[in-house]
Amino acid sequence: MFFGLNGVEISLIITFAFLFFGIMSGFPVAFAIAGSAVLSFGVIAIMSHHGLLYTLETFNGAEEIVPVLPKGWDGAMLSTLSTWAQGIFTRAFGGNVEVLLAVPLFVLMGIALERSRIAEDLLTTMARTFGAMPGGLAISVVVVGTLLAASTGVVGATVVTMGLIALPTMLRAGYSKSLATGVIATSGTLGQIIPPSIVIVLLGSIVGDMYSIGQENRANELGVTVIEMLGEPAVLSTGTLFKAAFIPGVVLALLYGLYALFYALLKPSAAPPIALIERAPGEFDVGAHYNHRTGLMVFLALAPIAALIAAWIGLTSSGLISSQTLAGDTALISHGTMFIAVVSVFVLLLALFFQPQFSATPLLIGLIGVAAYVAVDVLVLGPAEAPGKTFLYYAIPTVLILYGMKSGIARLNNIEVLRVVAPPVILIVSVLGSILGGITSPTPAAALGAAGAIMLAAARLSGNNNTGAKGAARVITMASFAVVVMLLMRGNFDLRMTLDDISTENQIAIWVTIVAYHVAIFGLVFSCIILAMQGVMSQVVRETTKVTSMVFMILIASLFLSLTIRSYGGEHYIQEALRSIEDPRVLLLVVMGVLFVLGFVLDFIEIIFIVIPIVGPVIYAADPALMPPEWITILIAVNLQTSFITPPFGFALFYLRGVAPPSVTTGDIYRGIWPFVIIQVVGLFILWHFPQITTFLPDLLPEN
């Protein structure tokens, strides 16, 4: 054989050569992948038929020449179709359709927020907030990138929006071109790791199967069942991956922000502060009230929520908090109660600290209501309390909380930064809270996020026109409140209408839920009409269809390529080569290096659907006590995120180059991105040596 390579090795080279040149040809990626699969299969079949591609195998002590396609091209084709028909690759046609449905919903969510110019408001407000400090504009971009990542997950929309708005402002302020372009391009990629993330959704549709297959192979080698080996089924859900990805995403955002801050401190002229915009006449000056002590104001803003979350985590770890709210609740406090308490106390204290010119009485009444709400859960309610009594016990504390919250929210609405940040943050809390709290799976949460984004966009756009703006906002607010009512009814009552015996309180709850459902649907339809009248809805639907079609076309095309590789035993060859590495951590390190290099020339979707199915059964066969599967997956996800910013084919670089002014060259972008590529490697190093960063939330909030 050529250069001492066997037929399978040469076939792999042929396949990936066709793939490389197909992608470089300029054809749409999906067609390039599918075409490379068909053409490489044809070339390999012809060469195998003429005896040019073969392996040497020993039979009865004698070596025999075996073609890589021993049954010919027709036999290989029939075997491939049989493999497809047996269900191994049914993922493309419905095997994981529930998980994959989250993709278009999250894409719709992101594009709706981007087209409604909510991102523009966030950037402008954050620039006013942080601009006076060294590197403040760069830090503002990181903060907005984090918020957009947690509310959209669409890299292209984020990078383009920040490139159009933030980049000219940073250049006018005297910022270094390399710092400005680097921080914009990198912050835009946070949407690929911070949930809701398209990368995590697509990985979740694959790695669950890979983990199951890998553990079954390990159990077979040990001669036991998976249950006997692990003590539980080998299951890895997308919800678990969302929990695992949240803290690593925040860690990366902090690394970006720290780099921008230290860069500004070392080179003040390259990242100068900007002058603050003058305050409107009559507006309350919070800074003057606290003698412009920035540290104190930051402490007052962050200390309450940090203390509340720490208390929540501590009570959960000690077993004093239960995830159940009805029958079977044997702990002192439920997660539902803690969520209401934490959110309410944070809002009330924030209003108390930053709007002290008003009377504190309504806020104090709200805090009393929170204390009473928790006391009811701890002292009054039992593990099998009737839903009707539970609702009545909570009624008075709830009224007190709502009274205080109404006053607190009205006061906080006077602060511009909170008024702009609050809507996307509420959406983030709703989507991520429902996933992290185990209330629902990512797909229903994506539906909630898409509906919420449509209503937020409608509220934002209706505010541009004075006529009917208040009425439109009132309808959308009522619809949002109706969603909250439905969640409360679902959490406190049995809403099953098929039961033979339905209690009176459950019947009332069912009718309340039905009314709330119709109000919510009306608000959603009303929001869609507003977006349609503004000419935005058609743009959102069109862009969502384009992105979704691209993702699924690449998915199907990558399955064609996988079938070609399987036809001549390439997949088995690669897996056996990986299994020859005995240390599983060394094996994972090798795979991570390969993925990092592939990220320079391939898109993350191609890597997910081409490479992961091949290497997955091997790397996920490790002992989960030594290498937790969620830790492996998040390392891969961060690695894939890096592919967006690595030259020459980083998509974020293309997006930014397309909207950057002529004075910013491609060289400026490349010079600015390399420090952040190094930061990505540092982030991977931190996650590698401290896997608890990834496993903390899944262990704290296990699947119900």
* Span 404-427, pLDDT tens digits: 988 888 888 777 777 777 777 777
Confidence of residue 625 (pLDDT cuts 50, 70, 90): confident
Does the N-terminal peptide bond of residue 196 adopt cis geometry, omega within 30 degrees of 0?
Answer: yes
The count of other CB atoms within 10 Å of the CB of residue 661 is 10
In the structure, what pLDDT confidence band is assigned to residue 506 with cuts at 50, 70 and 90?
confident
pLDDT at 616 (0 to 100): 84
**Which pairing describes strands 54-59 and 62-67: parallel, antiparallel, or unpaired?**
antiparallel
Is it the case that residue 1 has pLDDT exceeding 60? no
Is it the case that residue 576 has pLDDT exceeding 60?
yes
* Mean pLDDT confidence for 28-35: 81
Query: How are the residues of the chain apportioned to helix, strand and coil, as percentages rounded to the nearest 5?
Result: 75, 0, 25
* Residues, the chain: 704
Cα distances from 133 to residues 129, 140, 185, 405, in angstroms, run 9, 10, 22, 32
Say if residues 36 and 554 touch (Cβ distance below 8 Å): no
Q: Is 238 left (phi over 0), alpha (psi -120 to 50) or beta?
A: alpha
For residue range 293-322, list pLDDT tens digits in order.
766 777 888 888 888 888 887 887 777 776
3-state secondary structure (DSSP) of residue 31: helix
Residue written as token pair 């192979």: 217
Q: Can you tell me the distance from the alpha carbon of 364 to that of 471, in angstroms, rounded to the nearest whole number?
A: 31
State which of 248-262, 603-617, 642-656 shows the largest mean pLDDT. Answer: 248-262
Is the confidence at residue 91, as pLDDT, over 50?
no
Listed residue (350, 521, 522) closest to 425, CA to CA:
350
49 vs 329: CA distance, rounded Å:
68
Give the Cα separation of 636 and 630 in Å (integer).
Answer: 10
Instruction: Give per-residue pLDDT as tens, 440-476.
Output: 777 787 888 888 888 888 887 776 555 455 677 788 8
Res 678: pLDDT: 92
Per-residue pLDDT, averaged over 91-110, amounts to 67
Mean pLDDT check: name the lowest of 59-63, 267-271, 282-286, 532-536: 282-286
What pLDDT sits at residue 122? 75
Average pLDDT, the chain: 79
pLDDT digits (tens, 9 = 90+) for 319-343: 777 644 433 444 567 777 787 888 8
Average pLDDT over residues 514-538: 89
Mean pLDDT of 689-703: 84
The CA dihedral of 207, 209, 210, 215, to the nearest 10 degrees, is: 130
pLDDT (0 to 100) of residue 210: 85
Cα separation, 101 vs 16, whole angstroms: 30
Determine the pLDDT at residue 324: 44
CB 173 within 8 A of CB 163: no
- pLDDT tens figures, 631-675: 999 999 999 888 888 876 677 887 787 778 888 888 888 888 899
User: In the chain, pLDDT over 90 holds for what percent of residues?
Assistant: 9
The token pair that represents 652 in the structure block: 């974020």
Q: pLDDT category, 248, cuts 50, 70, 90?
A: very high
Q: Are 34 and 560 in contact (CB under 8 A)?
A: yes
Is the distance from CB of 606 to CB of 559 less than 8 angstroms? no
Q: Is 321 helix (H, G, I), strand (E, B) or coil?
A: strand
Both tokens of 308, joined, read 């509340």
Mean pLDDT to the nearest integer, 17-25: 81
Q: Please determine, for residue 93, whether its predicted confidence score (pLDDT) is greater than 50.
A: no
